[in-house]
Structure 1
Amino acid sequence: MAENTTETAFDSLNATVENKAGWFSAVEYLQDLDFLLLELKLVFSAIGIIYLGAHAALRRPPSAAPAKKRKPGDKDDDERFSQGLEPSDAIMFPLMAGFVLVGLYYLIQWLQDPNILNKILRWYMSTMSIASLLSLYAHGIELLTSVVFPRYWRGRNGVLMAVDQETRSVKTCDPVGNPTAVTATTNPFPGPLAWLAFSERARLAGWELRDLLTQHWTVKLYIHGMGKEEGKIKFAHMLALFSALVTALVYTSTTSPFLANMLGYAMCYGSFLLLSPTDFLTSTLVLVGLFFYDIFMVFYTPYMVTVATKLDVPIKLTFETADRKSILGLGDIVIPGMVMALALRFDLWRHYICKVKYESTELKLIEKDSAGALVTRSEVKHKEVKAKYVNVKGNWGDSLWTRGPLFLSGAKQLPAELEAARFPKTYFYASIFGYFLGMLVTLAMLLVFKRGQPALLYLVPGVLGSLWLTGLVRGEIKQMWKYTEDGSLDMIDVVVDLDGEGNAIKTIGKLKDGVVDTTKKDDEKEDEKDTKDKDSKKDDGKGGHKEDEKDTKDKDSKKDDGKGGHKVFLLSIEAESV
């Protein structure tokens, strides 16, 4: 819900001023610079957090093949798929939101004084937002690190240069990032920031700081009886954890509006990493359901306005001046934003679809004849070959410093990891335009009707309309309908039939050992076997830990030289060698 208030609300517009008329028109009110700045700050803050969150939620699309692991045991964050929303959530979301909203409303009425409830909710939400603050701060620190210490940048002569942390030098390289033996400089700072290395001591300190901020540490945790975990962190994560804890503690002590907004930004950002519609049909149903929910709760009940204005907790973004205040509910950011993030991942999927190639392959087809008997025949078909995925995240600084003079033009050739981030974002930008247009209409209606407006009333048509209209104009409605993140598209070695233009028109099956079984019996048996294996490991409390226990015992025996001791608790942090 969007709302704008003053000290005397819109009643102040009816004040008389000597010989002037006793009212201000909407146009005159809109000309107020403070009002314009306030609303622009609100709109661009919402769009900004959606933009950052959508890019943070990018991952390998099903149209790309998994990238090869650099080291055994390394985990790739881009391989993780968040739990997608299902069509049934279009019903559950409004029901659950309504239940919570009505409960809060009557709790406020029963308590009379919302201060007690505010304190409880502030503690609860500040605690629950620590993980989101950690993600937001960590990614923010990594973004700043990539700007101050990029891997690539261009010299004044336009030549591309690459950093070699091991030799603490910056070498020239060809347009696609292959370094040469020529050392261009030993200054770790790029371009205009080179003055930071004003002395030899400052230069060495710069390299040390770069090493600290860019190096990965391997964290190993073992608890006897519970198993072991291993992960990689950076200095940014530790600094972000400390900052998140401080932010939460200070907010609960001071109730600062700025910190309340920071918690709001963090919860929006974290929601984009966790929540995602499975496909465009689900996203449309969810938005339409909440569209009607927002209308009903704002126009026909006192619940939404009362809860939004009475509770001083980070469930909204608040911007205020001396005599005005504008608020925007977090739901008006998260709900459309998760669909906009889906649109960005759809753009990435389309980008890799264009890279799919089809190789002629001689294989054996197992089919059923008219009598139901299995028939095997040899035939030449086309196998789908997907391009390897290149991580598109974390390249903000490199993309900035490798641009042309004054950062106005992009280079024709870039290193592979930077080139991958330049995929067309047609649907994402269309959704941003729709969201911006919806926010402008919301503000216009706010002025016309002089009361709080359900922002989703205008944002949902703006976002959904822009997406589906873009698909209709581009003739890609079929692709939008096909795209899903439920894992069904994430297959390799798929055999297809092609039309005369070389486009896949039919999926025949999955190639395995040179054979395609179109009866799918083998696949079903294999799936059943995999399911049984997983269930047996899950149900057998001892079986799942036998290998771990054996490895642990072997390590303990070597460590203790046969003394019979064993580890109970272990926490280690190991720095990777440069």
Structure 2
Amino acid sequence: MDVSKLLDLVAQHFNDERHLIPMYLHLIASALFPIYTGAYASLSRPSSAAKPVKKKRRASEAADEIDDEDEEVLQKLEGMSPRDAVIYPVVAAVTLAGLYYLITKYGARAINLIFGWYFAVAGVFSVAKLVSDAAVVGISFVFPTYLGWSGKLYRVDGLKRKAVLVQGAVGESATGSSAAVTSVWLKPVYNTIWDVRAAIKQRYTVALRIGNTPDEKTNFTVIHVLATLVGIASSAYANLVAKPWYLTNLQGFAVCYTAFQMLSPTTFTTGSLLLSGLFCYDIWAVFFTPLMVTVAKNLDQPIKLVFPRPEEAVQIPFAPPKRQYSMLGLGDIVLPGIMMALALRFDLYLFYLAKQREKIVQQSDDVSGKESKGTKVENIEKAPYVPVTGYLGDRFWTARLPASARPTKLNASFPKPYFYASMVGYTIGMLTTLVVMSVYQHAQPALLYLVPGVLVSLWGTALARGEVKQMWEFSEAVDSEQVEEGGDTRKEEAGWSLDSAQTWLDMWDGLLKLTGFREGSTEATTRNGDTASEAKPDADGNAGKLEPGKKHIDSKRDDVLFRFTISRYKAEQEGDLSGASDAAKDMAGKRE
């Protein structure tokens, strides 16, 4: 074919499809949005970084003024093994074939009804997570913790209700704060703003106990409650009233965003094996069978993103224009996306790996106890982890200050070559999918183009940077340094321990007592199973204190069959948290 004729055909086709360009841009942006946000939300301290330095708390420090920088959030991702990567495409094919059979034999109405309530539960959790995180980001712009004003850094103090100077003249207040106080007619508004800020930042603790089980605690704020109500409302409206495309997309965004914080291929080799299997599965399901297209068109569930196409005129006189929609399955976002999120965490791992230093320690004695002068031991010294996510509002309000004048957490950043390369590869794959679909006017298996785009970009970047070995050996499997001190690494990796087993047995025992099937025991026990008779008496002869390392018991524990309490969040005060009890550390150092 002549080149000029080919260019004419391309120009003609572009002119015919030009009205679809806004829809295509909408589709690409909607696919990249949950990947970008979910990947950043999945970041936590890598194994190449040391634990962040804990700060001492003041007794006068209120619960709503505790910095998020003191809260180390370790993401607990569900890892995959090579066996899972091989089995997953087979399970997906069998499930797809089963759904196709049920739809063709019994219709889609019953299937949609069953799946509707199933996804309603998942939708509540996912939408609540997405909305709460988005609200926290938005609130950080309205009620920031740090402000930059006239070249100086101020910290907002909720107790004193003013912005206190951090860098500069000590005790100086932010310009405008005192003026607002002196204006009588502005004082009610001023106080209301501070009250709203305090109410939003105030955290509460929910404690639940059944029988002899230890208190199961979790923390929440008003934002979490409101976000949960939004999740319930969206699921109820979608299942009881109607399913507009934007509500379906909201639930789809939320599912993808949450999935990136729950799933991990663990290694790049496992992820590559998984995507390669799904690459073949998607081609088979779309090109060689009617399974994928039939199921996608008949299942009206948040398993896809829906994009309205431009209205098309119909041949019937006075009939309204016909509205059609393009679809993108959530699998085309989540499955390549978990590999891209892994790439971002790998970037963070490499950043702290490069900051590690060898620490030379002089050894005076050998194993036999004799002196061996001149012997040295090399230890790896890791840099303390500084959170790289969050604080968007603080970064915005202090953007004009020099980096030296801002807190370390507001300057935290790291290079992201692998993540950006995967984003480019994914975008190229998505553009290729749309072009081929537009030319051939037939549904396309998106993974046919997305998988090569992501894998080639990632492994090609590693090859160009000479880091193929590091990428091949990288793993997110939990190691002993990431497990709480004193725990069993093997049991933690399996997600099970004797302590958790005892907890569930205690809960079952409490339920039996609650229902009257088992009488309560008169012998008080501790969480680790020690009886009261094993506790040593104190100096006054009172029983109830255990040996060091054993937890205190409650002699009235068996009298409580069920307890549910909500209290204000309390953290360890007056002292370094490193010497606090385990419960205090969990409360003060982690967001449950």
- TM bucket (normalised to shorter chain) is 0.7 to 0.9
Change (3 A) 1:131 1:77: farther
**1:228-239 correspondence runs (5 A):** 228-239=215-226
Q: Specify which of 110, 113, 116 is matched with residue 110 of structure 2.
A: 116
Q: Specify which of 459, 462, 481 is matched with residue 472 of structure 2.
A: 481
Distance across 1 between alignment mates of 2:466 and 2:239: 52
Distance across 1 between alignment mates of 2:468 and 2:231: 42
Amino acid at match of 2:220: I
Q: Structure 1 residue 416 and structure 2 residue 404: aligned?
A: no
Helix, strand or coil at the partner of 1:78: coil
Distance across 2 between alignment mates of 1:52 and 1:548: 49
Q: Match for residue 54 of structure 1?
A: 39
Q: Specify which of 255, 259, 278 is matched with residue 247 of structure 2.
A: 259
Amino acid at match of 1:419: N
Q: Which runs of 5+ in 2 are unaligned?
A: 1-9, 58-65, 179-183, 312-322, 507-524, 533-543, 545-550, 574-592
Q: Match for residue 170 of structure 1?
A: 163
Q: List per-residue Cα deviations over 1:347-386 (Å, max 9, x = no partner).
A: 111111122122111238989xxxxx99996721221111
Amino acid at match of 1:44: A
Residues 218, 575 of structure 1: 8 Å contact kept: yes
Q: Match for residue 455 of structure 2?
A: 464
Distance across 2 between alignment mates of 1:537 and 1:423: 37
| Greater mean deviation of Cα atoms: 51-60 or 257-266 | 257-266
Distance across 2 between alignment mates of 1:36 and 1:117: 34
Q: Match for residue 384 of structure 2?
A: 388
* Structure 1 residue 331: Cα displacement: 0.3
Pairs aligned (count): 494
Helix, strand or coil at the partner of 2:383: coil
Distance across 2 between alignment mates of 1:231 and 1:186: 38
Distance across 2 between alignment mates of 1:92 and 1:146: 43
Q: Alignment identity in percent?
A: 35
Change (3 A) 1:309 1:354: same
* Structure 1 residue 62: Cα displacement: 0.2
Amino acid at match of 1:216: R
Q: Which runs of 5+ in 1 are unaligned?
A: 1-22, 189-196, 368-372, 493-522, 558-563
Change (3 A) 1:382 1:245: same
Helix, strand or coil at the partner of 2:73: helix
Q: Match for residue 78 of structure 2?
A: 83
Amino acid at match of 2:293: V
Change (3 A) 1:536 1:436: closer
Change (3 A) 1:232 1:70: farther
Q: Specify which of 213, 221, 232 is matched with residue 245 of structure 1.
A: 232
Q: Match for residue 393 of structure 2?
A: 397
Q: Match for residue 516 of structure 1?
A: none
Q: Structure 1 residue 361 and structure 2 residue 357: aligned?
A: no
**1:129-528 correspondence runs (5 A):** 129-155=123-149, 157-174=150-167, 180-185=170-175, 187=177, 199-253=186-240, 254-321=242-309, 322=311, 323-363=323-363, 379-404=375-400, 411=403, 414-420=406-412, 422-488=413-479, 490=481
Helix, strand or coil at the partner of 1:220: strand
Q: List per-residue Cα deviations over 1:482-501 (Å, max 9, x = no partner).
A: 22111348479xxxxxxxxx
* CA RMSD of superposed structures (Å): 3.7
Q: Specify which of 11, 23, 38 is matched with residue 23 of structure 2.
A: 38
* Structure 1 residue 313: Cα displacement: 1.1
Q: Match for residue 14 of structure 1?
A: none
Residues 216, 575 of structure 1: 8 Å contact kept: yes
Change (3 A) 1:528 1:296: closer
Q: List per-residue Cα deviations over 1:380-420 (Å, max 9, x = no partner).
A: 12211111112223222222222239xxxx84653111222
| Greater mean deviation of Cα atoms: 375-384 or 242-251 | 375-384
Q: List per-residue Cα deviations over 1:460-501 (Å, max 9, x = no partner).
A: 111111111111112222221222111348479xxxxxxxxx
Amino acid at match of 1:48: F
* Structure 1 residue 304: Cα displacement: 0.5
* Structure 1 residue 547: Cα displacement: 6.0
Residues 220, 571 of structure 1: 8 Å contact kept: yes
Helix, strand or coil at the partner of 1:484: coil
* Structure 1 residue 556: Cα displacement: 4.3
Residues 49, 383 of structure 2: 8 Å contact kept: yes
Helix, strand or coil at the partner of 2:172: strand
Distance across 2 between alignment mates of 1:316 and 1:528: 38
* Structure 1 residue 429: Cα displacement: 1.2
Q: Structure 1 residue 26 and structure 2 residue 13: aligned?
A: yes
Distance across 2 between alignment mates of 1:530 and 1:342: 21
* Structure 1 residue 77: Cα displacement: 5.7
Q: Specify which of 125, 136, 150 is matched with residue 119 of structure 2.
A: 125
* Structure 1 residue 320: Cα displacement: 0.6
Q: Match for residue 513 of structure 1?
A: none
Helix, strand or coil at the partner of 2:215: strand
* Structure 1 residue 222: Cα displacement: 1.9
Helix, strand or coil at the partner of 2:82: coil
Q: Going by fraction, where is strand more abundant, 1 or 2?
A: 1
Q: List per-residue Cα deviations over 1:129-158 (Å, max 9, x = no partner).
A: 222122111111111111211112322x34
Distance across 2 between alignment mates of 1:430 and 1:24: 30
Distance across 2 between alignment mates of 1:142 and 1:316: 27
- TM-score scaled by structure 2? 0.75
Helix, strand or coil at the partner of 1:486: coil
- TM-score scaled by structure 1? 0.77
Change (3 A) 1:179 1:345: farther
Helix, strand or coil at the partner of 1:184: coil
Q: List per-residue Cα deviations over 1:503-535 (Å, max 9, x = no partner).
A: xxxxxxxxxxxxxxxxxxxx9xx989999x954
Residues 96, 295 of structure 2: 8 Å contact kept: yes
